[in-house]
Amino acid sequence: MKTTPHHLILTLSILCIFISCLVRKPIDGECTSLRVNITQEGSDQLVAHPRNGAAELYEFKWSNGVGNLNKISVLESGVYAVTVTDLINGCTAEASYTFTKTSGNGCGSFTAVSDAENNLYDIVTIGTQCWLMSNVNIEAGIPKITDPMEWAFATTPAWCYYNNDVANGPKYRKLYNWYAVKSGKLCPQGWHIPSMAEWETLFQYLKKDSLASIALKKIDPLWRGTIHASNESGFSALPGGRRQANGSFIFEGTEADFWSSDESSFAGSAKAITLSGGFDGISRIDWGKNHGFSCRCLKN
């Protein structure tokens, strides 16, 4: 049947009514109850705490341009502000925090660190942060899972080598599911798996995603095809690939995937970052916790 202008107008009217029911307008006085305050965690992290919203669903905009995160890492002294929007009713609230940079950043005079199994890692200072220069390689009592079905259905810590090939161990170290990250057993004492906010601090220091991606990747023949890399940062990322949620393996030679310590708002997921050989960018994606990614540690 041919749609007439009257039918079109009626359809649009019904659609507008439906949308208006989903996004309600705030009740008088409702927005005055939304509050947010900022606290400092550790030496360089600021956390926004909204309260009295219509629901636990918020958008965060920080004055230093960091993305939609409730937690950020900061490099320099100054006043940092956040605007929080309640995504249910559109109410907003603002807060600011005066941050003072502490002394004693980076790795200091140290050049290496050992984990609980005496695996030795070279370390590098990048901006104010101290990073491992290679991927985590500890077992820490965590089981090795090679069977794809067992890997796919695991809800406890696990690790493997890429393609279940021990020859990939010396090249890329181990891949871990996110339950291993959550266990807190992967890093040397005084170190931790970085949060997304701490990854963002690294990217900010290296001046935008495109330059950061190039500066993080090691110039090495293990990267196949076109590779945009300088390793100017010393981070020395290699293309260890990943294990899929179904237990298969993919992207060795072309991609480096790293877990963060942050869970996702999507059930069963956590946040990670991806560096690709020929792509001058950084992907930030929510992945199922049973994917197998590389891990790096950051000094507390």
Report the 3 state secondary structure along the chain: CCCCHHHHHHHHHHHHHHHHHHCCCCCCCCHHHCEEEEEEECCCEEEEEEECCCCCCEEEEECCCCCCCCEEECCCCEEEEEEEEECCCCCEEEEEEEECCCCCCCCCCCCEEECCCCCEEEEEEECCEEEECCCCCCCCCCCECCCHHHHHHCCCCCEECHHHCHHHHHHHCCEECHHHHHCCCCCCCCEECCCHHHHHHHHHHCCHHHHHHHHHECCCCCCCCCCCCCCCCCCCECCCEEECCCCCEECCCCEEEEEEEEECCCCCEEEEEEEECCCCCEEEEEEECCCEEECCCEEC
Q: Model pTM greater than 0.75?
A: no
Give the domain ranges of the chain.
Answer: 31-99, 112-299
- Per-residue confidence in pLDDT tens, the chain, 300 aa: 444 544 544 444 444 444 344 445 555 566 878 889 999 887 778 899 998 876 678 999 998 877 788 888 887 788 999 999 988 888 899 999 988 776 556 898 889 999 999 999 999 999 999 999 999 999 999 999 999 999 999 999 999 999 999 999 999 999 999 999 999 999 999 999 999 999 999 999 998 788 999 999 999 999 998 899 999 999 999 999 999 999 999 999 999 999 999 999 899 999 999 999 988 899 999 999 999 999 999 999
Q: What is the dotted CATH code of the domain comprising 31-99? A: 2.60.40.1080
